[in-house]
Every structure is written in C-alpha cells, then in structure tokens.
A = this chain, B = another copy of it.
Amino acid sequence: MKNRGIFSQEEYRSRIRKTKEQMDRQGIELLLVSDPANMNYLTGYDGWSFYVHQGVVVSLDADRPLWFGRQQDSNGARLTTWLTDEDIFGYPDEYVQSRYTHTMRWASDLLRQKGWDAKRFAVEMDGYWFSARMYLTLAEELSHARLMDGTNLVNWVRAVKSPAEIAVMREAARICEKVMNTAVDGISVGTPEKEVAARVCAAQIAGTAEFGGSSPAIFPIMPSAERTSTAHLTFDPERRYQQNDVVLLELCGARHRYHAPLSRTVYLGEPPADFRSTAEGVVRGLKQTLRRIGPGVTAEEVERHWREAIAKSGVVKPSRVGYSYGLNYVPDWGEHTISLRPGDQTVLAPGMTLHFMPGIWLDTYGFECSEPVLVTEDGCEKFIEFPQQLFLK
C-alpha cells in the first residue's frame, strides 16, 4: 500500500535515532511531539487534523513512537505512517473541544497504561499545538512526572536534511518556479488582484507535469501599493492592479509538505529613482551575501556580511534576514531554529536549508528579493534559478 510515509522506513528510523540522541543528551526520557510537522517527520502522519489535540510520543525505551489522536483520524494514521496498528491510539469524540474534560486527561491515562507516567517528560512548551491548558492538565494528572521543555527539539534534528529530503525539496523548487512565473506573468495594470492570486493558488497544487504540490504553510502573500509597507498582508479581493503599483510576492511551492519559498517584487510602470536604488542595493547585497554562506560560517556572520554589503546603499534592514525552512504545515514554513541575525551562533553545516530573505518594508512601500539555499560541502547552492531583479511591467 502506498503513502505509508513518503520516505523509507530506514529514513524514519534514523530520524527517531537522532531524536532519541538529543533526548538522551538533554536528560529527557519521554517526548510528546504535538507540532504536525514534527509528527510527520517522525512517523509520516499527514492529515489536516491538527486543529484537535493529537501527538506522537517518543520513549527512549520503545522501538517505535506511538501516535494518538481523534478516533476518526486513526485510519489516517494507519494509511500515512510507518507505525503498526498497535502504535495507534484514538480517543472518543466527546473529548473534542470539551468544556467538561480535556484530551490531556485521556492522554495521561494512556501514558499510565504504558507505564510512562513518572518519566522525565518533555513537551513542546512554546509551540502553537501545545496550549497552556494542555500543560496545566498534564501537570495536574502526572504528578510523578517531571515536565520539561522540549520546544524545537525535533525542529533542530530537522535542521540538517537527508539526501531524500533534499530531493523532495528540489521538486518543491520546481513547483515554486512555476508559481512565481504565474504571478509575475499575470500581474498587469487592470487585472483583478484576486485573479492572479487564484492562478497562483492553482499553480501551487497543479505542480509540474510530473508531480503535484501540497497545500502551502503560508498562504500567498501578495500585497500591492500601500499594503506593501508591511510584512504580512495579501491581495485585495476587490482591487485591480494600477499604474505605479508595487506588488510584493512572497510565494512558495510545496511538495509532500516540504517547501521552496521565494520572494520577488514587481513594479507596474517606471519606478521612482529611490525605489530603483533600494532594489539595486538589496539585489547587490543578496548576491554578495550568498557568496559568503557555507559550512563553518555562523548564522550571525551571514547577517553581518549582509549588513556590510548594503552599508553604502543606504538600505536599512532591522529584522532578521533569513531562517531555516523545510517540512511544514500552517502557519509557517520556517523551522523556528536558525535565524540569520545578530546573536545566533549556529554554525552552518552541509544539508541545512535556509531562506535568505532580505525584505524591506518602508513607510510607503516594500521590496523583497529572496533565495532558498542549500548549504553544501563548500558553499551554498540555490534551489531555484529565477532572475534576481525588480520586475518591471
């Protein structure tokens, strides 16, 4: 049967081994993984069920992790994971968004049943998928456990990609090229913004002739005009593109939930001199900085190279200029590990994948030109070949 995980069982087992190694190093005996990307990474599980409580539990003393979730999703775990039926536990529907009980009571019973209720037990404390109430309920139920913080533990294991993952990310990059082409080609004076956005969404799923895409972790961000003065607005469903519009495109392709993000900027007409010079400064800085990304360089050094590269251009970019990315679900394709900014001492290593993203949002407009790259043995390699420029239409 296909789709029992996208990767080989060896790949999943190696991920579990690396996770256990990190757990052991941090004195963690038991780890509850509730982030859907981490669940997918360890087991292959792939369903839009993360709006209810669910998780994967990794125990140092168990060969395979266990999956738990809503009963009606347990067939989904059977169909998409490499786990056996005895590793899959469904809870009754009365726990879903209940005002009277809590899923973590049921989960605590499960842990007791497995003899795992007095462990050094880490949870993803700062994740979207581990609420304060989940924590307080587990703390109340498992008085013999020592609750610890396992935020981003699996995310850090994910930071270095395997060759099989890189192959999937190259497929995502092929989709992303089509998506970005669709957007740049589609934007013109008089065209409804929603029409271009609709074509972009279709391109993300249709993928290439050879393979299809998957739903993006961030919905297409494609603001125009004054809406480009900030980071996370999108198209206006009522508006048509107008002469002298700036349009920011922060898009992606996704394949089996692995992403290829890319940002570009379009100007409709003849851009003002200051805008053109901002664009040129950013593109020049981008090109120079890419030459400095490689193994042994730290994340903060990359940001410093960027700052030095743009020092003379007058461009000021006060936020981080990139981050680690890969497998993900909404709301973010970033992995919440490596950030290219002052203070991040992560030493880059082959197999890491970074979105170098020097976005500029000034008071009246913005400019973005980014590159997703793979750190290689002796530098870095772009995932995507797409002209690094301001697109004039």
- Chain A residues near B (Cβ < 8 Å): 1, 3, 46-51, 70-76, 78-80, 92-94, 96-97, 100, 102, 123, 125-136, 149, 151, 192-195, 197-199, 201-207, 211-215, 218-221, 226-227, 229-238, 255-256, 318-320, 323, 329-332, 334, 336, 339, 341-343, 359, 361, 363
B51 touches A331 (CB 8 A): yes
Of all chain B residues, the one with the shortest Cβ separation from A221 is B48
CB-defined contacts of A323 to chain B, threshold 8 Å: 97
Flag if B126 contacts A75 (CB, 8 Å).
Answer: no
Contact with A237, one of B50, B92, B214, B330 (Cβ below 8 angstroms):
B214
Question: A194 touching B213 by the CB < 8 A rule?
Answer: yes
Q: Is the CB of A125 within 8 A of B132?
A: yes
Distance, CA A71 to CA B363, complexed state (A) = 12
21 A-B contacts (beta carbon < 8 Å): A3-B236, A48-B221, A49-B231, A72-B230, A72-B359, A73-B232, A74-B230, A78-B230, A94-B342, A97-B334, A125-B131, A128-B128, A131-B131, A132-B134, A132-B135, A135-B135, A192-B212, A198-B203, A198-B204, A199-B202, A211-B238
If over half of A's interface residues share one DSSP class (helix, strand or loop), that class is named, otherwise mixed; here it is loop
B129→A134 contact, CB < 8 A = no
The 7 closest A-B pairs by CB, nearest first: A212-B237, A194-B212, A75-B230, A132-B135, A126-B133, A93-B319, A51-B332
In the bound complex, do residue A233 and residue B47 qualify as a contact, i.e. CB atoms below 8 Å apart?
yes
Q: Contacts A79-B226, A234-B215: A131 and B133 contacting too (C-beta < 8 A)?
A: no
* A175, chain B: closest CB distance, angstroms: 10
Known: A205-B197, A207-B237, A214-B237. A49 touches B232 (CB 8 A): yes
Q: Which residues of chain B have C-beta atoms less than 8 A from A1's C-beta? A: 226
Residues of B within 8 A of A227 (CB): 79
A206 touches B198 (CB 8 A): yes
Which residue, A151, A219, A343, has most C-beta atoms of chain B within 10 A? Answer: A219
List residues of chain B with CB within 8 A of the CB of A229. 75, 79
Minimum CB–CB distance for A301 against chain B, Å: 17
Q: Is the CB of B336 within 8 A of A94?
A: no
Q: B213 near A237 (CB under 8 angstroms)?
A: yes
Chain B contacts for A128, CB-based, 8 A: 51, 128-129, 131
A237 contact set on B, CB distance < 8 A: 207, 211-214, 255-256
Bound CA span A319–B274, Å: 60
Please tell me which one of the listed residues B130, B256, B330, B343 contacts residue A331 in the complex, with CB atoms under 8 A apart.
B330
> Which residues of chain B are within 8 angstroms of A318 by Cβ–Cβ distance?
71, 92-93
Cβ of A234: which chain B residues have Cβ within 8 Å of it?
Answer: 48, 215
Contact A232 B132, CB 8 Å, known A205-B197, A343-B94: no
Shortest distance in angstroms between A127's beta carbon and chain B's nearest beta carbon?
Answer: 6
A320 lies within 8 A of B96 (CB): yes
